[in-house]
Chains A and B, each alone.
Chain A
Amino acid sequence: MTKKLINNKCLYLAIAYVIFFTCGCKKIIQIDAPVTTITSDQVFSTNEQAASALAGIYFRMVNSNVLFLCSGATSVYCGMSSDELISYDQVASDGFVLFQKNNLSSLTGIVGDAFWTQSYSYIYGANAVIEGLQSSKSVSDSVKIRLTGEAKFIRAFCYFYLINLFGDVPLTLTVDFNKTALLPRTPVESVYKQIINDLIDAQNALPIDYSAQLGERVVPIKWAASALLARVYLYHNEWENSEVQASAVIEHTELFNLATLDEVFSKNSSEAIWQLQPNPSVAPFNITTEGNILIPIDSTYSPFAYFPDYFLNSFEPNDERKNKWIKSFNFDDGSGTTITYYYPFKYNQGPLEQIPGGNITQYYMVLRLAEQYLIRAEARAKQNKLTDAIEDLNFIRHRANLPGLSPTLAQEQVVSQVEHERKVELFVEWGHRWLDLKRTGKSDAVLGPIKGGDWNNTDVLYPIPLNEIRTDPNLTQNKGY
């Protein structure tokens, strides 16, 4: 073999070799789609999977062992911020006592974790559904419409809490982080506009009854959108619109009726407009997070939070709600003296009833009929429809075994009766009291005397978490923080 031939052969070999490898390359490094996850395209390829994307949001809302936006944080922490609850632990440096003393700072982890981050993560989920369905070619139109409606409802719901807790907030309507990461805060008014639009869209898209969910009231239907819209209009001082929306819910007596006090928070209670269904496989299993945290284990354990006397005293005598929805126990702090503490008992399943896989008796109530009566009463009172307003209030009072109000009350008396009734009906529920004080401008007057030196008029808004401001240089902090 001559040298040349050898060289040529080598060359050919090498070339063949290189070609073999480069050509194969693209295919070689192709990997299968992930196994434990699926891509957005896959999610929005079938009706069932698209529905799963929404189920994922509800699931996360309710199945948390800690207090998050929709698992009790709004009830408990806002309850402490207002005049409803006292934190037992008075020394925690980054905890509930900061809510009670209105001493939050931008470093208070709970504010960021429980409210801000959770809300926005549901909003992200909703945006992902809206965008995914928009670009999907294989999900049927009817499903697209319904699921988009649900997503918009969720988005509106979360923004409602965000603006009421934080004031101006960044309005994210897409999942594209390139478009959202540097957003400034959007004025509350614009966010309200978005909320209202979303809810109107949701009303048009959602089913009118629970038949699709086999009677379970755990996915929002049209009337949930109306109920939330009634609240939003109320907050926005659009009394007439608010009344219309509340009436639309109340009129559907084939669906909604006031339940007895014992039954209000039961699963699929007749009063429920929208509830969240816990999953008994995941902690806190068959009970609600709120019940798990607020109900003391036994007399050797200190309570998490308790009612101050000034709150307990605001109940009228014989108000059944004080008996049914509030419980007391005696705690011995080791010093030999026992003290009686009162704690919320709307959710009556506590840690000792917690059983993995156990039977669920109560769902987590988000929207209920009683609030609609109170919304309508307030909206009517503001429009000076006093008789109608008093009639609405009496529905609620009669259930609590209280006498009806005098039909001759003046407008501001009716309005203040509504405020009172909201306080004792909706206590430790979704921050109603905290938000009511704020929207009616009574925070300073009511909380100032109770909280003393801890209270500042800027405390009505929670601080924007520091980390958000550090990550987005366009974000500003609320006054007072």
Chain B
Amino acid sequence: MHKKTGSVASTFRLVSGISKLDSAKFPFVTPKLDKGMHFTFQVGRPRHGGTSSEPKQLIMSSVRWGRSLPRQLVLAMQASAVLLFAFSLQVSAATYSQTVSFTGKDVPLKNVFASVKKQTGFGFFYENGEEATLKGAGNVTLDLKNVALDLFLQVVLRNQPLEYSVEGTTVFVKRKEVRSSVTVELSDSARIPEIRGRVTNDKGEPLVNANVVVKRTGRGTVTDANGGFRLQNVSPEDIITITFIGYKPQSIPLRDRTSLTLVMVATTNDLDKVVVQAYGTTSQRLATGNIGKITSEDIARQPIMNPLQAIQGQVAGVVVTQTNGFASSPIKIEIRGRSTINPNFPSDPLYIIDGVPLTVLEVGGNSNYNDGSQGFIQNGLNSPANGQSPFFSMNPSDIESIEILKDADATAIYGSRGANGVILITTKKGKAGKTHFDLNVYDGVSQVPRFYEMLNTKQYLEVRREAFVNDNQTPDNYSAPDIFLWDTTRYTNWQKYLWGGTGKTTDLQSSLSGGDQRTNFRIGAGYRRQTDILTKSGANERSSVSLNLTHRSINQRLTLSFSAAYSYAVSNMISVPNAATLPPNAPAVFDRQGHLNYKEWTAQDQLDFPFFSLLKPYTSKTNFLNTSFTLSYEILKGLSFKTTVGYNNAMLTQTSLNPISSQDPRFKPKGSAAFGTNNLHNLIVEPLLEYNTFLGKGKLNAFIGGSRQSNTTNGEYVSGTGYTNDALLKSINNAKEKSVFDNYGEYKYAAIFSRINYNLFDKYIINLNARRDGSSRFGPGRQFGNFGSIAAAWIFSEEALFKNKIHFISFGKLRASYGSTGNDQIGDYQFLSQWTSSGYFPYNGILSLVPTKHTDSLLHWEVNRKTELALDLNFLKDRITFEISWYRNRCNNQLVSFPTPNFSGFSSVTSNSPADVENTGWEYILNSKIIETSKFKWISKFNIGINKNKLLAYPNLQQSPYADYFIIGKSLNIKKLLHYTGVTPQTGLYAFSDKNKDGNITIDLTGKNPDDRYFYDLSPKYSGGWSNNFTFNNWELNLLFFFKKQLGVNALSAITPPGGLNNAPIEALHRWQKPGDISSVAKFTTSPYTDESYPNFQQFSDGTYTDASFIRLQNLSLSYRLSDSFTRRLKIQACKIYIEGQNLFIISNYKGIDPEVQQFGGMPLSRVITGGISLNL
């Protein structure tokens, strides 16, 4: 977000005076004061001969005067210039926000106007009739795209003896009044005391804080809130360069002009596009830190419900894991490896939506490192999806961009909460210009792509009988109900029974956006319904509306912007039984009366009935509101004050029913139900004082800001038992016994922070961040922490050597950063000893209080020190861009849930660990426009992140609770395993390498006398993505691959050994049967615990680990844009028809459904295929 600055105060007064003029009456007043001015207008020539298709630079008005002028006159002229300026503002304010495009060489004015008329519907009225009025007017050469009508006319008529005014939808054109003839001539060598100018974008909006630099001296200035600037002591030979993030830089020879209006054109080069950073914007060119970006186009290609899923494969070093197959499931994001040794706290990055942190206080106590945060569900009442991602409530279509901040430079300004990285989400805003109505609809299906291949009934029974023979057991009713009591001809594919359904997705998005130079808006509305692949139940629905408004005051110094998004989401779920391993001839799920078939399943109590959850509905309803309000005011030129107030609120209600019909009737059960609510509030106020100026020859951007945040998260649920009738379940009133559980957390946070960025010649940049943070999560005296970073970038391609000699390198940058960030994600009140009333249950009439945890009153900040070095290289006019970064993050004073022996009272204490954990890694990004012709384009983007995790130090590790888990110098994800050597041909049992040669295979978890000293690192070796975008005429094809190199649990070998009362994969048939057999599967057994080699193989050996690397076609989208002629006939701007697919195929040696779903029988990731149409009206 850029900051507004203003012009000097005197200008302000004048402008206010003028603003009282009635602009309708004086549409184009020629002030009396401007006697004696000689206007020379010209359209600037493009610097590179004008052959390229780039829009030409526009220099609009120029006035020359000299110091020989009488002082009064100069004053008068200044005043008139200001008037003119104010006046154009008046015009702007009254203008219709129509935009016009025109390209042509030496075109008569007549034709230009005709085109304008056609494009806008505006009529032209000529004062003296068309011919007479346009007599003597020259032809024009133009290349303008989507320029506001007003500006367009100004440009067209600059050189002409004509002037215009707009009233209603009519443009009045008349001959220019003859002005007084005071002409000021200057000697060529004269220095110009001051030039003035104004910088706007092609929509006529002023660009604030644009850099205006005189090339010769290197000195410059920045534009004020109105886009205006002044430069002193320039000479006509000077060239001035104007740069602004997101726009093409312009260099203009001053010649004899003293006043300029510059229209900047948005860049098409990725290097200069806007990248959102903490408290501001930057570009890839100028960034000193590491920021990955996902655009709205990247998101739009994927038919996803949760926007975080779009990050997968697109940003190097970021691993996104959807923790289960439910649409609302928590999504775990890990940036640059595991930095904590603690398995108990989630390591989520900090999420910020339009400047408002979406902080969830982990008061529910069910979140952990592996499963991620439980998100909005914090009352302790768990859901089948094990939580609910906050971003399930966010409409991906409202998002303009997602930025992922990785290194110290990018994150240190967030101080204490930047340790795990920061994810910035920016919502879409309206743009000045024609009002757009966009409509996008798609519809699709999702299915499980693959099923495990399991034994059929015949094979299964064969396995069972063989197992009994192996065990020397005679099966009977009790030990083998599947053989004796159940129908041995029955066959059910349980996976298909549960997951065989087809999920349906319908998504509808619409938005209206537009605005003029002062007010922009965007209103969006979306609806999505997605049903689960489960055959029995499950649907998710989300309706959302969003509003973004920006308004600037007439003098442009005050800017207000407001954004709000509200959504309502409903999710219906049931828990999914592990279906794959159920015996294939198990009885029907429902009996003839339609009741759950407990009777047959639980005969002999050998098997638990797994399908009770089918009749236990769970519903969550979530309201989510995110609002952000920003007010900024330019106090003085370059100095602006900004305040952001943000608030978000999530309200989630849950209903979880346990009807009588879902329970075993033998227990004469009663119904029970639980009703939960969760309420999260985030309030943030962030005032900011920013100063932009030129200091010496460089540009200085500095700000100081403060942040106050207060969060509360509370949840409660009422659980009722003793319902005697299922029809009464939905009300707690009908419960016989009720109990209430609640949670409450409050978090306050205050900080001051500052950034200083100094940019010399766009060549040398240094960037300093500092932050002092206070958090309510620590005890008195330990609440505050200091964090900061230093970073520098050297754009060496700007050096003469590269500019003059090494042309094939079009951009080169070296950058480095070092800094510290912190973390306080430990939940609230951890430093206080606490007691809870454990419900309100009394003992003998006295309320009971129970201590809840150990307390470490010395808790303090966790610190993550990050170092990064990176090299950016672009070749062949930026057609190939290459970025390589190396990083090293060292995390210490980690906040962990430190294990304590149970005999001390509790099994853990939240404390600072002495462990020092290091993540080092390389990230490579290679983007290339492989083919770029007017008809066919192929853009390929590749990224890969290689991370190495290491426990660097741990004082006295052997005397710590981690002695058996970690090894200094090795990854935190190591496993100590037995080495599996095969199935012994003589015995048919699994065998392992006897490392200590004592004749026994011993697993001694305390580390003495072990055979399990073979180490395996389960951290992924590398992961990345490769996207290819092809455009051919109106066709566009995009393929996104995601790949990962990792070791994983072989799902097939991780299940209970074949032979028991559970089904096995078809591979089990390669088992050992008689002495001498060479096989990979041990002999079948009904009780695998009788010989320890079975559990040893399954739980403690490397035999179950396998390469789980894969390449996944994460996304494919193919779209066809209807031709312009066709859309024009339909009176729409654009129309696109597309199909999109998610998770289309996978290349992997991994056996099982999916190398990312290593838990055998867990609900697999589905394949989604959708088709849709998008319209722009």
Provide a sorted-by-A list of 24 A–B residue pairs whose CB atoms are within 8 angstroms.
A13-B635, A14-B689, A18-B704, A31-B828, A53-B849, A59-B838, A59-B841, A60-B838, A60-B848, A93-B1089, A121-B902, A127-B905, A172-B903, A172-B905, A175-B905, A180-B901, A279-B841, A279-B843, A282-B739, A298-B666, A301-B605, A467-B907, A470-B961, A473-B958
Tell me whether A344 is interfacial, beta carbon within 8 Å.
no
Tell me whether B370 is interfacial, beta carbon within 8 Å.
no
Distance in Å from the Cβ of B800 to the closest Cβ of chain A? Answer: 34
CB neighbours (8 Å) of B497 from chain A are none
Contact of A51 with B846 in the complex, beta carbons under 8 Å = yes
CB neighbours (8 Å) of A33 from chain B are 832
Contact of A38 with B835 in the complex, beta carbons under 8 Å = yes
Contact of B848 with A52 in the complex, beta carbons under 8 Å = yes
Distance in Å from the Cβ of A6 to the closest Cβ of chain B? Answer: 6
Contact with B along A27-69 (1 / 0, CB 8 A): 0111111111111101100001101111111111001000000
Contact of B752 with A37 in the complex, beta carbons under 8 Å = no
Residues of B101-154 whose CB lies within 8 A of A: none
Contact of A180 with B689 in the complex, beta carbons under 8 Å = no
Segment with Cβ contacts to B, from A232-240, A253-261, A348-356, A454-462? A348-356
Distance in Å from the Cβ of A51 to the closest Cβ of chain B? Answer: 5
Given contacts A31-B828, A51-B846, contact A36 B783 (CB under 8 A): no
CB neighbours (8 Å) of A91 from chain B are 1087
CB neighbours (8 Å) of B847 from chain A are 48, 52, 55
CB neighbours (8 Å) of B17 from chain A are none
Residues of B9-32 whose CB lies within 8 A of A: 9
CB neighbours (8 Å) of B737 from chain A are 280-281, 285, 356-357
Residues of A294-311 whose CB lies within 8 A of B: 297-298, 300-302
Cα–Cα distance between A13 and B635 once the two chains are bound (Å): 11
Contact with A along B832-856 (1 / 0, CB 8 A): 1111111101111011111110101
Tell me whether A445 is interfacial, beta carbon within 8 Å.
no
Tell me whether A291 is interfacial, beta carbon within 8 Å.
no
Which among B605, B747, B838, B901 has the greatest number of chain A C-beta atoms within 10 A?
B901
Contact of B667 with A351 in the complex, beta carbons under 8 Å = yes
Tell me whether A405 is interfacial, beta carbon within 8 Å.
no
Contact of B905 with A121 in the complex, beta carbons under 8 Å = yes
Distance in Å from the Cβ of A287 to the closest Cβ of chain B? Answer: 14
Given contacts A59-B841, A297-B666, A471-B901, contact A37 B834 (CB under 8 A): yes
Segment with Cβ contacts to B, from A212-220, A420-428, A432-440? A212-220
Contact of A357 with B736 in the complex, beta carbons under 8 Å = yes
Given A172-B904, A175-B905, A335-B477; 6 other pairs, CB 8 A cutoff: A39-B832, A40-B851, A121-B902, A183-B904, A277-B844, A470-B963
Given B832, B849, B963, B1089, which contacts A473 in the complex, CB threshold below 8 Å? B963
Given B706, B906, B1087, which contacts A21 in the complex, CB threshold below 8 Å? B706
Segment with Cβ contacts to B, from A78-86, A112-120, A192-200, A383-391? A112-120
Which among A13, A355, A470, A477 has the greatest number of chain B C-beta atoms within 10 A?
A470
Residue of A nearest to B484 (CB): A334
Distance in Å from the Cβ of A157 to the closest Cβ of chain B? Answer: 16
CB neighbours (8 Å) of A20 from chain B are 706
Cα–Cα distance between A181 and B736 once the two chains are bound (Å): 44
CB neighbours (8 Å) of A151 from chain B are none
Distance in Å from the Cβ of A368 to the closest Cβ of chain B? Answer: 18
Tell me whether A475 is interfacial, beta carbon within 8 Å.
yes
Contacts across chains A and B counted by CB atoms under 8 Å: 257
CB neighbours (8 Å) of B909 from chain A are 177
Cα–Cα distance between A1 and B605 once the two chains are bound (Å): 91
Given A31, A219, A357, A467, which contacts B776 in the complex, CB threshold below 8 Å? A31
Contact with A along B777-803 (1 / 0, CB 8 A): 000000110000000000000000000
Contact of B902 with A112 in the complex, beta carbons under 8 Å = yes
Distance in Å from the Cβ of A240 to the closest Cβ of chain B? Answer: 33
CB neighbours (8 Å) of B828 from chain A are 31, 34
Tell me whether B610 is interfacial, beta carbon within 8 Å.
no
Contact of A36 with B667 in the complex, beta carbons under 8 Å = no
Given contacts A6-B636, A175-B905, contact A30 B748 (CB under 8 A): yes
CB neighbours (8 Å) of B841 from chain A are 59, 63, 279, 281-282
Contact of A36 with B843 in the complex, beta carbons under 8 Å = no
Given contacts A6-B636, A356-B722, A473-B963, contact A334 B603 (CB under 8 A): yes
Given contacts A28-B708, A301-B666, contact A43 B849 (CB under 8 A): yes
Given A25, A123, A177, A473, which contacts B750 in the complex, CB threshold below 8 Å? A25
Contact with A along B628-661 (1 / 0, CB 8 A): 0000000110010000000000000000000000
Contact with A along B685-725 (1 / 0, CB 8 A): 00101010000000000001010100000100000011000
Residue of B nearest to A127 (CB): B905
Distance in Å from the Cβ of B974 to the closest Cβ of chain A? Answer: 16
Give me the interface of B with A, judged by CB distance under 8 Å.
Answer: 8-9, 476-478, 481, 485, 603-605, 635-636, 639, 666-668, 670, 687, 689, 691, 704, 706, 708, 714, 721-722, 736-737, 739, 742-750, 752, 772, 774-776, 783-784, 828-829, 832-839, 841-844, 846-852, 854, 856, 899-907, 909, 958-961, 963-964, 1005-1006, 1087, 1089
Contact of A29 with B901 in the complex, beta carbons under 8 Å = no
CB neighbours (8 Å) of B835 from chain A are 37-40, 42-43, 53, 56
Which among A121, A181, A335 has the greatest number of chain B C-beta atoms within 10 A?
A181
Contact with B along A258-297 (1 / 0, CB 8 A): 0000000000000000000101111101000000000001
Residue of B nearest to A302 (CB): B605
Contact of B639 with A10 in the complex, beta carbons under 8 Å = yes
CB neighbours (8 Å) of B736 from chain A are 355-357
Given A6, A18, A42, A51, which contacts B752 in the complex, CB threshold below 8 Å? A18
Given contacts A55-B847, A58-B843, A471-B900, contact A29 B961 (CB under 8 A): no
Distance in Å from the Cβ of A331 to the closest Cβ of chain B? Answer: 11
Tell me whether A400 is interfacial, beta carbon within 8 Å.
no
Given contacts A29-B783, A116-B903, A281-B737, contact A218 B959 (CB under 8 A): no
Cα–Cα distance between A285 and B747 once the two chains are bound (Å): 37
Contact of B902 with A120 in the complex, beta carbons under 8 Å = yes
Given A31, A54, A180, A473, which contacts B903 in the complex, CB threshold below 8 Å? A180
Distance in Å from the Cβ of B968 to the closest Cβ of chain A? Answer: 16
Tell me whether A24 is interfacial, beta carbon within 8 Å.
yes
Query: Which 8 pairs from chain A and chain B are nearest by CB?
Result: A124-B905, A356-B737, A37-B834, A55-B843, A21-B706, A56-B850, A59-B848, A28-B750
Contact of B1006 with A466 in the complex, beta carbons under 8 Å = yes
Contact of A34 with B834 in the complex, beta carbons under 8 Å = yes
Distance in Å from the Cβ of A474 to the closest Cβ of chain B? Answer: 8
Contact of A356 with B670 in the complex, beta carbons under 8 Å = yes
Contact of B849 with A123 in the complex, beta carbons under 8 Å = no
Cα–Cα distance between A169 and B742 once the two chains are bound (Å): 36
Cα–Cα distance between A219 and B848 once the two chains are bound (Å): 13
Given B691, B774, B843, B902, which contacts A10 in the complex, CB threshold below 8 Å? B691
CB neighbours (8 Å) of B904 from chain A are 120, 124, 172, 177, 180-181, 183
Tell me whether A72 is interfacial, beta carbon within 8 Å.
no
Contact of A117 with B902 in the complex, beta carbons under 8 Å = yes
CB neighbours (8 Å) of B901 from chain A are 170, 180-181, 467-468, 471-472, 475
CB neighbours (8 Å) of B958 from chain A are 473
Contact of B708 with A1 in the complex, beta carbons under 8 Å = no
Contact of A37 with B691 in the complex, beta carbons under 8 Å = no
Contact of A352 with B668 in the complex, beta carbons under 8 Å = yes
Given A49, A181, A335, which contacts B849 in the complex, CB threshold below 8 Å? A49
CB neighbours (8 Å) of A60 from chain B are 838, 848, 850
Contact of B832 with A34 in the complex, beta carbons under 8 Å = yes
CB neighbours (8 Å) of A32 from chain B are 746
Distance in Å from the Cβ of B9 to the closest Cβ of chain A? Answer: 6
Contact of B849 with A334 in the complex, beta carbons under 8 Å = no
CB neighbours (8 Å) of B666 from chain A are 297-298, 300-301
Contact of B849 with A55 in the complex, beta carbons under 8 Å = yes
Contact of A17 with B739 in the complex, beta carbons under 8 Å = no
Tell me whether A248 is interfacial, beta carbon within 8 Å.
no
Distance in Å from the Cβ of B960 to the closest Cβ of chain A? Answer: 8
